[in-house]
C-alpha cells in the first residue's frame, strides 16, 4: 500500500481509538491485539 494511505488509515484509527477506547476493547478484545502485532 502507498505510505500516504497507510498514514491516513493510522490517523483515522488513532482518532477513533481516542474517542472510544472502551468500545474498541470490548468489541475486538484479543483480535485487536493479534491484528496490531504484525504492524
Instruction: Evaluate whether 26 touches 19 at the Cβ level (below 8 Å).
Output: no
Query: What does pTM read for this prediction?
Result: 0.38
**pLDDT at 20 (0 to 100):** 66
Q: What is the pLDDT of residues 4-35, one digit of tens each?
A: 988 888 888 778 767 666 766 666 676 767 77
Measured distance CA(7)–CA(38) in Å, rounded: 16
Q: How many degrees, rounded to 5, is the angle at CA 10 between CA 9 and CA 15?
A: 100
Amino acid at each position: 500500500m502507498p505510505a500516504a494511505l497507510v498514514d491516513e488509515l493510522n490517523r483515522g484509527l488513532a482518532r477513533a481509538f481516542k474517542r472510544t477506547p472502551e468500545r474498541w476493547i470490548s468489541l475486538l478484545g484479543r483480535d485487536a491485539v493479534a491484528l496490531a502485532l504484525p504492524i
